């Protein structure tokens, strides 16, 4: 069996190593854009590694990349097919198997961020051996994790949180880390989900960690650092999502953020996948995050709001960004639109972090 696990941190955050690129992005039969966030994330943040997409009959979502079958993708230099879907529960349905086998036969490795393991799928390990290809599961936590300690540690930490799932926590963290680095600051993006790990070649898939050890994994991911170092930590789920609040809380307690940014889609009215559950307000998320986060960092602050305005035109986006900032008295911005509004959000993060008392004296966990 040529299966490989790529997330293996020891005393520091996991270094997965570069995945075999370029990629063919597999969209399965997905019809909800929010469930194709892995494909969109790789397109937007690692576009130079993506040659095309493969969708099955019934799929209505596209990344806009060329539509290629595995053989055509291999002819264009692709080395792997990446499952670009993050469906609820992370299961790989039997209807995808033919496409996965076709990719192996075309000479492509398979990369998955799903909870289902490629090596557990019927006939796939044997096919991988027969074709000399690898099965690479990214959503595998490291061995030897410990429970969280709650002990404060040196360095500055920023966490993205959300009013819901799949609305910009990863994009916001990546954009803020890039902005801080461009300003000459020592900043590191800390990936906590499969897509972020694929982009950064490092991280820990927090939602695959046994619950008792999830806060400890977050501590490991953002270890003690110099006082002026920033860890920008990718958030997961939402404290208000009935399915994923647990991983959100563990990440909040373990990362001990000095500041957080609330991510929100102003066009969304209900929790993703729960049409009977109204979306919480930004104010509710701020209050809940501060209340819960004070357990491990009494000085936690909200630095501002990141709005996903992709469904709005420029004028409407500008208006809602300004209105949100005015209503909350906090900076608001869309990280993909950038501009002065996003610069103000980054400034606020730095101010909130620098306000943390005695950060240099905290001991390592």
Ordered by start, the domain boundaries in the chain are: 20-137, 156-361
Q: What is the mean pLDDT of the chain?
A: 90
Q: Based on the number of CB atoms within 10 Å of its own CB, is 361 exposed (0-12), middle (13-18) or buried (19 or more)?
A: exposed
For residues 177 and 188, the answer to whether their CB atoms sit within 8 Å is yes
The pLDDT score that the predictor gives to residue 105 is: 98
The pLDDT score that the predictor gives to residue 15 is: 39
CATH of domain 20-137: 3.40.50.720
Regions of the chain with pLDDT less than 70? 1-17, 353-365
SS3 per-residue string spanning the chain:
CCEEECCCCCCCCCECCCCCCCEEEEEECCCCHHHHHHHHHHHHHCHHHEEEEEECCCCCCCCCCCECCHHHHHHCCCCEEEECCCCHHHCCCHHHHHHHHHHHHCCCEEEECCCCCHHHCCCHHHHHHHHCCCEEECCCCCCCCCCCCCCCCCCEEEEEEECCCCCCHHHHHHHHHHHHHHCCCCEEEECCCHHHHHHHCECCCHHHCCHHHHHHHHHHHCCCCCCCCEEEECCCCCCCCCCCHHHHHHHHHHHCCCEEEEEECCCCCEECCEEEEECCCHHHHHHHHHHHHCCCCCCCEEEEEEECCCCCCHHHHHHHHHHHHHHHCCCEECCCCCHHHHHHHHHHHHHHHHCCCCHHHCCCC
Report CA torsion sign: 218, 222, 227, 232: negative
Q: What is the pTM of this model?
A: 0.86
- Smallest Cα–Cα separation from 165: which of 263, 289, 302, 39? 263
- Overall fold of domain 156-361: Rossmann fold (3.40.50)
The pLDDT score that the predictor gives to residue 361 is: 31
Give 156-205 pLDDT, tens digit per residue. 999 999 999 989 999 999 999 999 999 999 999 999 999 999 999 889 99
Give 209-219 pLDDT, tens digit per residue. 999 999 999 99
The pLDDT score that the predictor gives to residue 19 is: 86
The pLDDT score that the predictor gives to residue 364 is: 35
- The residue assigned the tokens 């969280």 is 148
The span from the CA of 209 to the CA of 145, in Å, is 9
20-137 and 156-361 in the same fold = yes
């Amino acid at each position: 069996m040529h299966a490989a696990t790529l997330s293996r941190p020891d005393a520091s955050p996991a270094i997965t190593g570069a995945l075999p690129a370029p990629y063919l992005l597999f969209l399965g039969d997905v019809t909800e854009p929010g469930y194709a966030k892995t494909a969109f994330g790789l397109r937007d943040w690692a576009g130079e590694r993506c040659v095309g997409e493969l969708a099955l009959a019934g799929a209505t979502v596209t990344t806009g990349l060329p539509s290629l079958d595995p053989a055509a993708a291999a002819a264009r230099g692709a080395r792997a097919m990446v499952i670009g879907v993050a469906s609820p529960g992370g299961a790989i349905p039997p209807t995808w198997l033919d496409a996965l086998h076709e990719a192996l036969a075309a000479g492509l490795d398979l990369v998955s961020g799903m909870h289902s393991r490629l090596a557990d799928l019927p006939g796939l390990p044997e096919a991988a051996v027969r074709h000399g290809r690898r099965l690479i599961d990214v959503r595998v936590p490291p061995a030897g994790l410990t429970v969280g300690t709650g002990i404060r540690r040196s360095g500055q930490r920023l966490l993205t949180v959300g009013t819901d799932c799949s609305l910009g926590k990863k994009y916001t963290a990546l954009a803020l880390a890039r902005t801080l680095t461009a300003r000459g600051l020592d900043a590191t993006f800390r990936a906590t989900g499969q897509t972020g790990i694929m982009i950064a070649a490092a991280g820990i898939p927090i939602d695959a960690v046994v619950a008792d050890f999830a806060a400890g994994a977050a501590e490991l991911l953002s270890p003690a650092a110099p006082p002026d170092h920033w860890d920008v930590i990718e958030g997961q789920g939402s404290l208000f999502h009935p399915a994923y609040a647990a991983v959100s809380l563990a990440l909040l307690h373990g990362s001990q953020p000095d500041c957080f940014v609330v991510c929100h889609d102003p066009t969304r009215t209900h929790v993703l996948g729960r049409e009977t559950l109204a979306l919480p307000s930004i104010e509710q998320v701020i209050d809940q995050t501060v209340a819960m986060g004070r357990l491990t960092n009494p000085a936690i602050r909200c630095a501002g709001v990141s709005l996903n305005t992709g469904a709005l035109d420029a004028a409407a986006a500008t208006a809602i960004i300004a209105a949100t900032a005015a209503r909350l008295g906090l900076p608001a911005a869309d990280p993909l639109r950038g501009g002065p509004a996003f610069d103000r959000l980054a400034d606020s993060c730095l101010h909130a972090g620098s306000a943390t008392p005695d950060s240099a004296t905290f001991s390592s966990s």
